[in-house]
Structure 1
Amino acid sequence: MEIQPTALPDVWIIVPQLFGDHRGFFMETYHAKRYAEAGIAATFVQDNHSGSRRGILRGLHYQIRHAQGKLVRAVVGSIFDVVVDLRRSSPTFGRWVGMELSAENHRQLWVPPGFAHGFYVLSDWAEVFYKATDFYAPEWERTLLWNDPALQIAWPIPTGEDPVLSEKDRQGKRLQDADCFE
Structure 2
Amino acid sequence: MQSLNNLDYASYLKNAIRTVPDWPHEGVMFRDITPLLQNPKAFRLLIDVFVHRYMDADISLVAGLDARGFIIGSVLAYELNVGFVPIRKKGKLPFTTIAEGYELEYGNATVEMHTDACRVGDRVVLIDDLVATGGTMMAGYKLLQKLGADVVEAATIIELPELKGGELIRSNGLPLYTVCSFDGA
TM-score (norm 2): 0.28
Q: Which has the higher helix share?
A: 2
Q: Which has the higher strand share?
A: 1
